[in-house]
Amino acid sequence: MTGSPEDGFEAVVVQRVGPVSARFTGVVKLSELVPERSITIRGEGKGGPAGYAKGGAKVTLEPIPGGTRLGYTVEANVGGKLAQLGSRIIDGFAKKMADEFFTRFQAAIEGPGAAEEKVADSGKSDKGWFKRLAAWLARIFRGGKP
């Protein structure tokens, strides 16, 4: 993964969606950044003949007694072979990915152990870029300079 919060990130991810497995060249852009409140993450991944995926997440933070409630809405659009073969499962897949992300995000912020059970099945090759992105986000949400 390369990039910065201002310019966006680029990453190459090998991902399997239902019957389609492909190497996605992805671009992620962050916008509508309100420190300690919310951020919009938009991404697009091109998988060559496998098609493409586009999507976004609106993430909000809300103080609650004893911590912070993280809310998010995710939408995903797919095209090409991904749509033809994987549309049936894409919403479920997007939800699964988002759940994994935020579970691990929680773990990254709160430290190991907080969500260890939930991330037990992750451990993918994308951990490196994930960690770095999570670190960026964590700093943003804490209101600090990235």
Partner 1 sequence: MPKDGGIGASTKRREDIRFLTGKGRYTADINLRGQAYACFARSQVAHGRINGIDTAAAKALPGVLAVMTGADFAAMGGNPAGWLVQSRGGETMKEPKRPVLAHGKVRHVGDAYAVVVAETLEQARDAAAAIEADITELPAIVNMAQAVADATNRVHDEIENNVCFDWGWIEDNRAAVDAAFKAAPHVTTLKLVNNRLVPNAMEPRASIGDYDSGTGDYKLYTTSQNPHLTRLLIAAFVMGIPENKLTVISPDVGGGFGSKIYHYGEEAAVLAAAKALNRPVKWVADRSESFMSDAHGRDHETTIQLATDLQGNFLALRTETLANVGAYLSNFATVTPTFLHGTLMAGPYKTPLIYVNVKAVFTNTAPVDAYRGAGRPEATYSLERVIDKMCRELKLDPVAVRRLNFIAPDQFPYTTPVGLVYDTGNYGATLARLVQIGDLKGFEARRAASARRGKLRGLGLSTWIEACGIAPSALVGALGARVGLFDVATVRVNATGNISVMVGAHSHGQGHETVFAQIVSDRLGVPASSIDIVHGDTSKIPFGMGSYGSRSLAVCGSAIVKAVDKVIAKGKKIAAHMLEVAEADIAFEDGMFSVPGSNKAKTFGEIAFSAYVPHNYPLETLEPGLEETAFYDPANFTYPAGAYACEVEVDPDTGRVEVASFACADDFGNVMNPMIVNGQVHGGVAQGIGQALLEAAVYDGNGQLLTGSYMDYAMPRADDLPMFTVDHSCNTPCTHNPLGAKGCGEAGAIGSPPAVVNAVIDALQRGGHSNVTHIDMPLTPARVWAAING
What's the min distance (Å) between Cβ of 75 and partner 1? Answer: 12
Radius of gyration in angstroms for the set of CA atoms belonging to the chain, rounded to a whole number: 15
Does 52 bind partner 1 (CB under 8 A)? Our answer is yes
Does 93 bind partner 1 (CB under 8 A)? Our answer is no
What's the min distance (Å) between Cβ of 48 and partner 1? Answer: 5
Question: Which one of 25, 35, 42, 79 is in contact with partner 1 (CB under 8 A)?
Answer: 79
Q: Given the structure tokens 């300079």, which residue do they identify?
A: 145
Binding range to partner 1, per CB under 8 A, among 48-56, 57-65, 104-112, 136-144: 48-56
Q: Angle, to 10 degrees, between the axis of helix 127-141 and the axis of helix 81-110?
A: 60
Q: If you ran DSSP here, which 8-state letter would residue 114 be given? A: S
Alpha helix (H) ranges present in the chain?
A: 81-110, 127-141
Does 78 bind partner 1 (CB under 8 A)? Our answer is yes
For residue 90, what are its two tokens? 């894409």
Q: Which is nearer to partner 1, 77 or 106 (CB)?
A: 77
Does 26 bind partner 1 (CB under 8 A)? Our answer is no
Q: How far apart are the first and last CA of the chain?
A: 16
Does 77 bind partner 1 (CB under 8 A)? Our answer is yes
Q: Given the structure tokens 């991404």, which residue do they identify?
A: 43
Residues that bind partner 1 (CB under 8 A): 19, 48-49, 51-52, 77-81, 83-85, 87-88
